[in-house]
Amino acid sequence: MKLRTALGSALAALALVLPLAGPAQAAQGDFHYTYVDGFGQERLVDLHDPVSGKCINLHGVGDDEVPPGYAPHNETDTAATVYVGANCTGPEWRLREHGRPTRDALELRSVRFDAPGLR
């Protein structure tokens, strides 16, 4: 009888823990953008399988004190919104999943990929 009680308690505890465990949700694929570094060199950055549902300040351009990045290309399976300001602020532009490359004139400092429930 004690074995059944212990087994039941263990299964109940496992059922509570399982929904909390698991990897963070990520967009599958690559997101690219270009920026000019402090030495005047053009750099292409690739985010592979970026996290979904969170604002990402982009490397090299995620601060309002440096020139913004440009020419984003969303090759992930999730729509993304790019922002001209850091911390997902300012004017925004929506990029479809598996979209075509944008023009160099489209500037960005941060991006947010749709949360899994919005796919």
CA distances from 117 to 10, 30, 58, 78, 79 (A): 31, 20, 24, 11, 12
Q: What is the pLDDT of residue 45?
A: 97
Per-residue confidence in pLDDT tens, the chain, 119 aa? 454 544 444 444 444 444 444 455 889 999 999 999 999 999 999 999 999 999 999 999 988 889 999 999 999 999 999 999 999 999 999 999 999 999 999 999 999 999 865 54
Question: Domains in the chain and their CATH numbers?
Answer: 29-118 (2.60.20.10)
What pTM value is reported for the model? Answer: 0.76
**CB-based burial label for 20 (10 Å; 0-12, 13-18, 19+):** exposed
Q: What is the pLDDT of residue 90?
A: 96
92 Cβ contact partners less than 8 Å away, ≥ 6 residues apart: 81, 82, 83, 84
Q: What is the pLDDT of residue 24?
A: 58
